[in-house]
Amino acid sequence: MTLADGRTLAYAIFGDPEGTPVIFNHGFSDSHVIRNPDDKLTSSLGVRWISADQPGVGGSSPLPGRRMVDWGADMEQLADHLGLDTFNVAGHSGGGPHALSIAHHLPDRINKVVLASPVAPFDVPGVTKMLVMRDLKMLVLIRHCHLLLRWAMQFDATTVEKDPAAYVEAAGNELPADASTFLRSKEQTAMFAENFRLGFLQHEEGIYEMTLALWNWGFKPQELKQATDVCYGDADDVISPRMPRYLAGELPHATLYRWQGSGHYGFVDRDRWTEFVSATKGCRVDRRTSSSGRGD
Q: What is the pLDDT of residues 113-128, one digit of tens each?
A: 999 999 999 999 999 9
Q: Is residue 127 part of a domain?
A: yes
Torsion angle of alpha carbons 274, 275, 280, 284, nearest 10°?
140
Q: Please report, for the domain that includes residue 191, its CATH number.
A: 3.40.50.1820
Q: Is residue 140 part of a domain?
A: yes
Residue 292 has pLDDT above 70, yes or no: no
The DSSP H or E segment spanning 115 is strand 110-116
Q: Is residue 4 part of a domain?
A: no
Mean pLDDT, residues 157-167? 96
Q: Is residue 167 part of a domain?
A: yes
Say how far apart CA 57 and CA 49 lie, in whole Å.
19
Supply the pLDDT for residue 67. 97
Q: Is residue 42 part of a domain?
A: yes
Q: Is residue 3 part of a domain?
A: no
Residue of 202, 210, 200, 201 lying closest to 65 (CA atoms): 210
Say how far apart CA 98 and CA 26 lie, in whole Å.
8
For residue 238, the 8-state DSSP code is S
How far is residue 7 from each of residues 1, 30, 134, 164, measured CA to CA in Å?
9, 20, 34, 27
Task: Give 48-102 as a DSSP string.
Answer: EEEEEPPTTSTTSPP-TT--TTHHHHHHHHHHHHTT-SSEEEEEETTHHHHHHHH
Q: Is residue 5 part of a domain?
A: no
The total number of structural domains in the chain stands at 1
Q: How confident is the model at residue 291 (pLDDT cuts 50, 70, 90)?
A: very low
Supply the pLDDT for residue 283. 76
Q: Is residue 230 part of a domain?
A: yes
Residue 22: domain span: 11-290
Supply the pLDDT for residue 58. 98
pTM value is 0.95
